[in-house]
Structure 1
């Protein structure tokens, strides 16, 4: 299971995760990032650097809540005492929630260091610590030639979980630590919770820590292994000689050593950590206090328990701590012709055009082209390709525009498109003419024998030149004139029609008047006759 997940809705084309991913285990489709599970070493760098918070890890608090009120055991990573301001009250809270055992993972680290020391003494070759799961994933997936140098020992977390179950019974084990990669390291641990998750849990449940008493971890206690999460902490536990013991921190530094492992002749004990500053600078530990303060807190805790009153002699149990590592490396064949075709489509078939700027996230343009062929990247991730593509599209639009476009500076014509070339073909004193037309900006200007044009002018940024845009309005102007003629003719027709109607009305009125007069005369005669 990969503990790191993506939120596509928040991903915003910045490629910062890919630029910082040491193994490029992130693919992009339509500008959205996706973790490639089989390639990911779960270092958590992409989570820390993402400005949009589009990357996170699987949270386990809901699973942990199912344990509350039941019996379970807790393994506290040594950096626990560097992260929490009130670590002993947190221990009290865990016991209140149902933990029958709350013990330091450093107990398991003590066992692991014992195995490390024995292996190193027996081998003259260079050996590498395997306490960090990210380092193990890195070796198995990308540097199989290093597997023979890995110390075949389980991590302190796994060693401690084995110890807890052997000593206290087969109860569920909860690991509390600063590492995201631990979530997928071993099924022997039932739940892995980060410090960040537990902080949020305390806040959401509104636990009042000040009301709890201080409680110490469950014995037995470790001797030196509390310093495991600090730089050089593992070497310290095995009494390493500085001449043959070295700490390598940071994935890039570790990869550099891994790539040249066969060149190392002198037998070294390499304490390898993915995080610079070791575990006290892990991805899920607080960042508001510095490494020195965190180291001081661990040393204070160690001093508090290393007294005659609290110190309990630790006896190593007889448990199997051996682990076998296997190669998960898969070499992918990439067709070189396909790579060259991608480079050509990007306009980078010439080595001089391959800037290798790294803006897309890949170290070189060729690496990017390989990723495109493999379906892990998109051509549009290249900034120079996008700029060139935009310029080409813009130039095409300008060149094919039906509007005449002129760019000039002083007395020098910088550019004119096809429409402009056709409009003023072999015109003398063109600049003077353009300056004359410019006066009519935002108005319609008639160019004799050419037509009517709407004039638009503006100055380019940084005084780069003047732009004159002539929009051909001749057709519209002719239509406007024709419309005026039609209106005039229509009005004349209406006037003629009204005059004619008036004449007809008058004639009808005349006829009606004569008829009424005759009718009246007949009526008078009829009346007179009736009266008679």
Structure 2
């Protein structure tokens, strides 16, 4: 099952989760981070550090509410870390708040821890194991079985206090009872629901964060609650389990056993270092309390909302908890508390050196010097990242130096091939950047241009005005090179740089073409006018000739008419 994952669309070019995941159980595909369930140890670090709040957690809260709505007898097993994490005047107020939510009984998981302590003491007395690693922390258990399987035989064959307590409650009240674990750990969910070896002990998991939400919805304030008793006898020193060294203190509380050197290790990096030492055979006869969370369970990923100080939580627990050994322990046999750990390592394909080199070359890394090993992608070395690309855990684009190089290269190409002259000028009118066309305009190289002021080459009045008013100048036509060049000037103020971007677009050719076109129109108009004038003259001449001819014709025809009339009269 998938306990943790990330929301779509919120995860973009960050890789912070990859950098902080020490077992690299995160894949990035199409710029979206995803949890590799088979690789994940559910430490919750990615949830804590995600800057986009893109993580999701598989919540059981509605399932638990469903148990209560159906009237099922539901017992809650509360992790002893509540003493250091939750705020109250008296511990019993937490019990009363949970009873008000509808739980039939509230019992401390430390009751199960007392049973586990007894088993650890038995294993130490038997003195058969070369080293003993505690198995209370499910993340440590996953870490060993998946990534350090050589150390699996050194794991104490005992269930966690949560599972021990769940089994005991079921034995006490019958299999029909629903057992809910309440604590600061998200890995417990995978252990309770996803591990077939302990299936049935726990029916649901609640975190302290979820409890706060539920209490708020129900308008229940812990400080307003009564001081109700726990449903179990006092587990005494076993309530120290959630702080560093708490397991060791519980084990040695009843009697000092010198057959093993007792140490405690917390924090994932420290646990991995300890396991490396075990692999190399550097430790002998050690009883090792291991916890993935630094400071112990009080710094679990589902408790940080309330507890920002491990020291404060540790002091609260130490003040509240008795140092006495627990007595009158529940009747649970070693067989009922046993668990076998095994090799569950992930078998992944390993690329050949040729494939690694091909992947490295695809991101511009042709030599060892090109491998910066900056870690921005989340992997310690470029070669590790190349292997991750081969295993479909990472993408080529995750290489920040290569992406930057590509962006700069593309930017330089655009700057250099554009026909426009581009400058960046600061508030002192010093040239801060210019492209090749700009250098040609100035008649100097880039190195010299960046040491000069823009007013040394041209009138800077418009630039000064924009720096003063911060108002953009759009496509203003000006003359450069003493009138030999006409350009359209655009000046844009750059707020964060207190500078301006100046662009000159050479429109000299277009202006000359416009002038030629205008002159052609003028010549055409003049020629048309001459034709019109000539036509008018011709028309007038024709009209004059037509007038004379008409008069002569009139006289002749009149004479002809008169002659004909005279002949008829005679």
In 2, the alpha carbon distance for the partners of 1:98 and 1:154 equals: 28
Distance 1:194 1:436, change over 3 A: closer
Q: Equivalences for 1:198-237 in 2 at 5 Å? A: 198-237=211-250
Corresponding position: 1:193 with 2:206: yes
The answer for the alignment partner of 1:79 in structure 2 is: 81
Q: What does residue 549 of structure 2 align with?
A: none
Q: Distance in 2 between matches of 1:98 and 1:12?
A: 42
**Cα distance change of structure 1 residues 502 and 32 upon mapping to structure 2, 3 Å threshold:** farther
- The question of whether the paired residues in 1 share the 8 Å contact of 2:421 and 2:434 is answered with no
SS at structure 1 position matched to 2:510: helix
- Paired residue for 1:106, among 99, 103, 110? 110
Query: Where does residue 297 of structure 1 map in the other structure?
Result: 316
Q: Is the 8 A contact 1:128 1:150 kept in 2?
A: yes
1:173 is aligned to 2:179:
yes
In 2, Cα distance between equivalents of 1:498 and 1:117:
124
Cα drift, residue 421 of structure 1: 6.6
Q: Does the alignment pair 1:145 with 2:123?
A: no
The answer as to whether partners of 1:91 and 1:214 remain within 8 angstroms in 2 is yes
Secondary structure, counterpart of 2:182 in structure 1: strand
Aligned residue in 2 for 1:244:
261
**1:125-154, Cα deviation, whole Å (9 max, x unpaired):** 111011000001111111111111111111
The offset of 1:46, in angstroms, is 0.6
Contact 2:17 2:49 in 1 (8 A): yes
* SS at 1:224 equivalent: helix
- Decide which of 176, 187, 190 is 1:184's aligned counterpart: 190
2:168 aligned with 1:163: yes
Summarize the Cα distance change of 1:259–1:497 in structure 2 as closer, same or farther, 3 Å threshold: farther
The counterpart of 2:338, out of the listed 322, 329, 338, is 322
RMSD of the alignment, in Å?
4.3
**For the structure 1 residues 480 and 499, does the alpha-carbon distance in structure 2 shift closer, same or farther, using more than 3 Å as the test?**
same
Distance 1:501 1:341, change over 3 A: same
Instruction: Choose 141-150 or 446-455, whichever is displaced more.
Output: 446-455
1:15-26 correspondence to structure 2 within 5 Å: 15-26=15-26
Determine helix, strand or coil for the equivalent of 2:156.
coil
**Aligned with residue 358 of structure 2, among 338, 341, 354:** 341
CA contact (8 A) 1:405 1:420 kept: no
| 1:443, distance to aligned residue in structure 2 (A) | 4.4
Displacement of 1:157 in angstroms is: 0.4
Equivalent positions of 1:3-82 (< 5 A) are 3-69=3-69, 70=71, 71-82=73-84
* Secondary structure, aligned partner of 1:357: coil
- Structure 1 Cα separation of the partners of residues 23 and 37 of structure 2: 12
**CA 1:435 to 1:77, structure 2 compared with 1: closer, same or farther past 3 Å?**
closer
**For residues 234-257 of structure 1, what are the alpha-carbon distances to aligned partners after superposition, in whole Å with 9 as ceiling and x for unaligned?**
111110668701001111111111
Larger mean CA deviation between 344-353 and 19-28 belongs to 344-353
What does residue 196 of structure 2 align with? none
Match of 1:274 in 2: 292
1:404: Cα distance to partner? 5.5
1:12 and 1:31 in contact (8 A); partners too = yes
Structure 2, unaligned stretches of length 5 or more? 193-198, 426-430, 463-475, 540-570
1:459-498 residue CA offsets vs partner (Å, 9 max, x unmatched): 999x9xx999653313321332245346646876998999
After superposition, what is the alpha-carbon deviation per residue over 1:168-208, rounded to whole angstroms, capped at 9, x for unaligned? 22201000001000011023211100011001110122124
- For structure 1, which segment, 3-12 or 168-177, has the greater mean C-alpha deviation from structure 2 after superposition? 3-12
Give the whole-Å Cα distance in 2 for the aligned partners of 1:208 and 1:498: 103
Report the Cα offset of residue 336 of structure 1.
2.2
Q: TM-score normalized by structure 2? A: 0.76
1:288–1:483 CA distance, 2 compared to 1 (3 A): farther
CA distance in 1, matches of 2:501, 2:113: 73
* Cα shift readout 1:16-53 (whole Å, capped 9, x = no counterpart): 11111111111112322111111111000011111111
The two structures have a TM-score, normalised by structure 1, of 0.81
The worse-fitting range, judged by mean Cα deviation, of 101-110 and 25-34 is: 25-34
2:374 and 2:380 in contact (8 A); partners too: yes
In the alignment, is the contact (CA less than 8 A) between 1:406 and 1:420 conserved in 2?
Answer: no
Shift, 1:389, TM fit: 0.7
- Please give the secondary structure, in 2, of the residue aligned with 1:445: strand
Match in the other structure for 2:376: 359
Indicate the SS of the match to 1:68.
helix
How far does the alpha carbon of each residue in 1:51-109 deviate from its partner, in whole angstroms, 9 at most, with x for none? 11111311221111112252111111111222222342231232334333311111111
How has the CA–CA distance of structure 1 residues 284 and 448 changed in structure 2, closer, same or farther, with 3 Å as cutoff?
Answer: closer
Q: CA contact under 8 A between 1:12 and 1:52: conserved in structure 2?
A: no
CA separation of 1:445 and 1:177: change in aligned 2, threshold 3 A: same
**1:491 to 1:328, Cα distance in 2 relative to 1, 3 A:** farther
What residue in structure 1 maps to residue 458 of structure 2?
Answer: 438
Provide the rounded CA distance (Å) in 2 between the counterparts of 1:418 and 1:211: 76
What SS does structure 1 have at the residue aligned with 2:248?
helix
Judge conservation of contact 2:489–2:503 (CA < 8 Å) in 1.
yes
Label 1:454 to 1:323 Cα distance change in 2 as closer, same or farther (>3 A): same
3-state SS of 1:219 partner: coil
Classify 1:363/1:73 alpha carbon distance in 2 versus 1 (closer, same or farther; 3 Å).
same
Residue segments in structure 1 that go unaligned for 5+ positions in a row: 505-532
Distance 1:289 1:113 in 2: 29
